[in-house]
Structure 1
Amino acid sequence: MPADPMVGRLVDGRYQVRSRIARGGMATVYLATDLRLERRVAIKIMHGHLADDNTFKTRFVQEARSAARLSHPNVVNVYDQGQDSDMAYLVMEYLPGITLRDLLKDYTKLTPEQSVDIMDAVLSGLASAHKAGIVHRDLKPENVLLADDGRIKLGDFGLARAASANTSTGQALLGTIAYLSPELVTRGVADARSDIYAIGIMLYEMLTGEQPYVGEAPMQIAYQHANDTVPTPSSKQPSVPAELDELVLWATARDPEDRPADARAMLEQLRAIEPVVRGTGPATGQTTAVLPDGAAQDQPDAAAATAVIGERRAAVAAPKKKPTASGVAALEDHTRRRKRRGYWLFALVLLLAGLAGGTGWYFGSGPGALTTVPAVEGLSPEAAAAALEEAGFESALGEQHDPEVEEGLVSGTDPEGGTQARRGGTVQILVSLGPRILAVPSVEGVPEADAREELSAFEVADETDVRYSSSIERGAVIAVLDADGERVGDEYPEQGALSLIVSAGSIPSVVGTPSAEAEQRLTDAGLDVSFADPAFSNDVAADLVISASTSTDPVRPGDPIVLTVSKGPDLVPLPDVVGESLADAIDTLEAAGFDVQYSFPEAFIGLATVKSMNPGGDTEQIRGSTVTLVATLEL
């Protein structure tokens, strides 16, 4: 095999490649040394022929981003991602060990107890991903890493997608065909429940040593996933407990609605049945016997046992031949070998008994026993770590935004407080970063129900401030106010308190309408109508509304509005001043409430006589109207 040109290369001036670990469809993984931090890392380098393909490069970068969002003891840590010339790479935690696929190749199948141990770790890591809104989409034994130090981690988020995003694919189905869920086969759509289906197939394979569906072509297998029901593991391996049968059937239901909602739900059920699987709870499955080689097998039924006993009795009753000299020597040699084998068998039985007792102690009352994770929400990280240590757990720090817990205090743990976890395991302490700061959508002019939906990331008060508005339609939002009653800005804390000002529509215009009609329209609009004293109006006819006035600003439904109704024009008698002196005529008309207009020099007013007037005298005219006089000078 030609030497790999990457071995010995310095990537990005920092990562010295030492040897190749594995090669996959998208990339090759190498062991490297981080020269800056002086530690061993695994560096994943995209294949050169894919580097120019934006789709593959996007998926490669997506893996880095998805995995980097996770911080969990059962997820492979991602340290760095970058580009060196035309080479895209991803730097991960290096875990010397094997994969679950390697383990299955060596042992074919695992015991129920071993399967539960591995599933607990895998589901814990996957629950962290699902909680972060990430769907793995490529779960299979090759992506479960079993480190030499006993750690179990989930890796290879190369096909991961955000759970809130559209996860359908218009291309060929992604992921390994043996673990694809029915909805991925038929519709190309995946969510957290698709991961659960793959977990169920993996559990079946661990318990039975084979996959539930096989075929000569991938489409045959895909067809079975879409149309058949996964059989129970006990139909292939009768020693599998009924509880694990039920767990596999639950996880692999063809309808996603019938599966666990996410990895956390399945993990809780796994931990609930674990005591039964280990034999520390009520027994429900078949009886098993421990054979000298340590394998658990079903005890034979009565008919088979009778047949075996009969065979042994026939062998004992058969006539014995007299041995020859050579036969005597052979018999003595055979006897010596049987004695040696007996010693070994006796020693093996003692060893197995010791292991069984030690295992029972370890998982029953020792470090591996299940115990309740204490609730530490609201404590400082130091106090939370001390509480976990006292309960028998290791702790690791993580962070998450929490709108309710003050920044710097513990907002939760993984596993959650009150749930069961193995003593001595690691519990992640999640320290609050406070609420996320979110963009506030603009909802001015939007109907109230739609505005509340757009503002669902915040706590919008049920009560609204309803006001009349001449520019915003009835039922639409006028403004959004923050907790201080001010108009909210472009950004606001997640689940922060907001309130809405909603339009009651415009106040009806009633000037010039009959008073009864005006009162009805304003009452229907929600206003409290009252009347002022009627007033004369030279512009508005009698019994029509002159004005509608409010005393509140802003005006809300139920506020008062006062109407003033017209008495019509203010008519007064117009004296006839024709023949009078101009000066006397002016005095008379002004005293009667009229405005007098004339055209005559002021110096001769006392000498002039009124010859005509407009309008004519001895009539009724509007108070304050103008009377025009025509006068001549009398000499």
Structure 2
Amino acid sequence: MTSVSSDPLIGHTLEGRYVIHSRIARGGMATVYMATDNRLHRTVAIKAMHPHLAEDPDFRNRFEQEARNAAKLTHPNLVSVLDQGEEGETVYLVMEYLPGITLRELLKQQRFLTTEQTIEVSESILSGLSAAHAAGIIHRDLKPENVLLADDGRIKLADFGLARPASANTGTGQALLGTIAYLSPELVTRGVADKQSDVYAFGIMMFEMLTGEQPFTGDQPMQIAYQHAHDVVPAPSTLSSQSTPELDAIVLWATDKEPEKRPADAAEMLQAVEASHDGPAPDFATKVLGTQVLTTQLPCTTVVDPLPEEQPTPDAPAPAQEAIEPRSATALAYARGRKQRRKGAIMLGIVAGLAAIAAGVGWYFGSGPGSLVTVPELEGLTAEEATQALEGMNLIATTSECYALTTDVGGVVDLDPAPGTRVERESSVNLCISIGPESLETPDLTGLDLEEAQKKINEARFISGKVRAEQFSDQPEGTVLWTSTEDGDELPQMMPEQSVIDVVVSAGQLPEISDLSDAEAREKLAEAGLEIDDELGWLEYSDSVKADRVISAHYPADTMYRGDSVGLVVSRGPELFEIPDVSGMKLQEAIDLLSEAGFEPSTLVPEILRGMAEVKESVPGAGEMAPKGSEVQVKSVISL
């Protein structure tokens, strides 16, 4: 039979849609697979929770929380979650598939990143994390393993499995979540996380990108946790020449022990990283590159104190001042009147401007672009309902037919122009109306091996179902013998697309067990997947198979499958018969009697003298047991 992976999900189709091909990675909570979405014909990544964790309601809720959190986020630097579902014990997410490597793998290859690489990766991560923070989501598990570097150059942040809404108090009240090397001091000491905890974790990641090392290490997790809570992260430049004073300051700012002294969120951190391209901006220098930080953490950097204001020397003449001429009441009144006239002109201009804006708005929404209407979402409605909705918006409905898998016959599958498009009133909108799934010709799979058959099923736009049975036959093991529908009926010539096709494959030939011992025969049948039922077997005389050896297997049906029961026919050896008493008989009479009893008599008396010979005894003797066909020597005497 074609070899199949020990992972039961590989080759399986989830909910009749996602065909799983291979494993990408395995983590503490879930395994990630590469799969094909048969409905949309695209490659996706499937993240399936480990079955033993799916039984735990807490883990299950956290896994489903990831789907909800990620569904809120749409950003070029965040991995998109496309779907979520469960089938039996399998709880899974469907995500976009990004061929490439993780930041962890890149660090293993290079040990550390260059300054330019660090800034590029940091800006991408912080850009995606900013979107999460803006949506009120805390990641809580930032680490290089969760940063994906795609082959096409995209950088994306993944795995919101530990994420929590920032609006909720994020105290865990249980074991700390997240990787210990990136936990913030407040998570270690109080078990509480917020956006600034993510910022701290990113600061540790940035330190690792620049130096190739984590700032805190130890033999035990508690040793590392203690250092996070009590020790200060050193400047990256103390370990690596890739860092700059600006990057040193960013790392130290992000990893401050006190959360309120860190950047408020990823967006503020992103601004600092972007500013590091050309040196710190003035406000950034005040906040991050302050004298205290740089003199205590960066002794190699000098900050020049601001110059004191210039004071006049006692001998120097004071600066000349303009003489202020007193103003009369008349002059003040004139000035006040001029100011009022200026204010009136300004107000007149404002009113005129508002009038122009109002006229423009009237034009925009009357006969200008504002007169356009937005094509509504109508998928799933009946053709009649959708037509009425369009007519109510002064749009003209036209219809066409199209195949659809999930929309009932007569329902709207798609619109042209697409929903959300702005069009002029009285424009035509085409409604694509479902006529059900497309009927396709079913493929001929007989004689193919299982892997080829499954590939051909998918190529024909059907779903590869299960191996319904493994039947013993003359065909090689794993060869498809026949196909059926999901209900077990004979496969018709035409079926709707995405219908399930099951197969029956060959289990190879039935094992040969003749002349084996009982134990050897049982072992060989078990290896072939057959069950031994002693009630189906018996003992039987055999002239060719020794006693206690297996003559054959008893198969109760003409067609046998793996898992069926068989019996053993075991030899009792040859059947024995009693040798008749021929003593005192004439020799010829004795020979005839022994022959009739099934034995082979022999004598030394010539045939011409047998009429005068009388039997004295036989060997074996009378009453002894011997198989039919055995030789019996007849001893006799001749009477003259």
Higher-RCO chain (CA-CA 8 Å, sequence separation at least 6): 2
Using the size of structure 2 for normalisation, the TM-score is 0.43
